Each structure stands twice: as structure tokens, then as C-alpha cells.
Homo-oligomer: A and B are copies of this chain.
């Protein structure tokens, strides 16, 4: 079943009715190389991105250079909500965390459609609430949970947004996302490997036992997952459904 890229691989786009999609014609497929910065803190946003098989992290970088991931966005969401909100910019950076593709749309086009106050508005509002939940939970998690727990959460969040059970990610980068030392991640990942839950080598991580990850993760993963499913139910029924396809259990 060879599959070319299609807008329907992004769950938000998949939900939009045909007439809306027709007005979003300027949709443009772009490649998302690892590490690419979609926008920098304070930049005026020019596009919104709907990831298909890529993952983007919203990262806050402090004056000191230390950083922390605020949110992670894959094919369930979009990057650039500030465009709708009237702000046009945010104090965070959007950076590609897992290479792949996304559909891109000029800010002007999506704003016009948004201002029709139709299906897109409703969908975006729900998505924003899911985003609020994710950010809130990140704050809680940063306060109370160990690196071990957070690594599990982070792996699960990434896994949910990728087709297979592999991710390409060095411990250094994970440390950046979690806002901790690289050595801390080495420790935590080492434990998981000894337990046979993951396997990794030089930036390639394979998850062998997803259930165990969920066991070891803090409650934060489940809370965010549950709330996202509640807010955007149809969007998560199938991990990689196509517009034209019948939904199937994965």
C-alpha cells in the first residue's frame, strides 16, 4: 500500500469539509528537515503548518540559553495558532523535532477562512483547548516528575505522532526538549534499555514495549491523551487515515 503524501494525513485537514478545503487550495507540501526552525521567538508568522509525518516542538529558549519544550505538534495539529488569535507572534520557537513533511498555507489565506467563522473556527478552538491542556500538563510535569518519568512521557508523545516504533533522536536533543542535562537522559534511557523497553544507538531509538513505557510514565501522558481524544475524537480514531479511506482499527 504505497502512499504518497496527502493533506488528509493531517487530522485537522482531514476533518474539514470539501468546500473549506477548496478555499485552502494554496496548500503546499513542504519537507521538514530535522532541526529546521519554522519561526523564532517574536517573529511575525507568515505561514501555518499542518504536519503529516513530521513532528514540531514549540520550544522556549531563555536568556541563559537553557530551553524547555512547551508543546509538541504532529499530524493531530497545526503550528501557528497565534495567527488566529490576533497576536501574529509568540515568544517561543518552533523547531522540527522529527523530519518529514507538512502542508503549508500562507497566513493570509488561513486567516480569511478562519474569519468566515465556519467549520475551521470550531475545529481550531477545540485544538487550542487541547493545546492549553498540553501546556498546563507540561508545567505540572516539570514541577513534580522525575527525568525517568518525563522521558517515558516524551517518548510516548512522539510515538503517537509517528507511523512506526522508531524515532530518530539523540539524547542531547531530548535533553534540550525536556530542559535537563544530556547525562540525565543517558541515565534514564540506560535504565529503559536495561529493562528491555527500548533499544537505541547513536540517535536511533526503537521502542520494544510500549505498555511498559505507559506504566513507567507519569500520569501526565494519559491526562493529555485522554483530553485530546475527548476534544478531537474523530481525529484520533485512526493514526494515519486518508481522506478517502474508511476508518479502520489500527
Q: Report which of B63, B125, B179 forms a contact with A85, defined as CB distance below 8 A.
A: B125
Of A8-16, A136-144, A158-166, the segment with at least 4 beta carbons within 8 Å of chain B is A136-144
Q: What are 18 A-B contacts with C-beta separation under 8 Å?
A: A58-B136, A60-B136, A60-B137, A60-B139, A62-B144, A62-B219, A64-B144, A66-B144, A68-B139, A68-B144, A85-B132, A86-B231, A91-B136, A91-B227, A132-B132, A135-B139, A139-B139, A139-B142
A2 contacts the other chain (CB 8 A): no
What 0/1 readout, one digit per residue, does chain A (122-135) give for beta carbons within 8 Å of chain B? 10011011011101
A101 to B35, CA, bound (A): 48
Please name all residues of chain B whose beta carbon is closer than 8 Å to the beta carbon of A92 when the two chains form the complex: 136
Closest B-chain residue to A114, C-beta based?
B125
Number of interface residues of A (CB under 8 A): 43
Binary flags per residue of A84-117, CB closer than 8 Å to B gives 1, else 0: 1111001110000000000000000000000001
Number of copies of this chain that the complex holds: 2
- Prevailing SS type, chain A contact patch: helix
A70 at interface, CB cutoff 8 A = yes
Q: Is A126 within 8 A of B179, CB to CB? A: no
Name A139-181 residues within 8 Å CB distance of B: 139-140, 142-144, 179
Question: Within 8 Å of chain B (Cβ to Cβ): is A230?
Answer: yes
Whether the pair A140, B60 counts as a contact (CB closer than 8 A) is yes
A64 and B133 alpha carbons, distance in the complex (Å): 19
Contact between chains at B91 and A223 (CB < 8 Å): yes
By the criterion CB–CB under 8 Å, are A82 and B136 in contact? no
**Which of A189-247 touch B at CB < 8 Å?**
219, 223, 227, 230-231
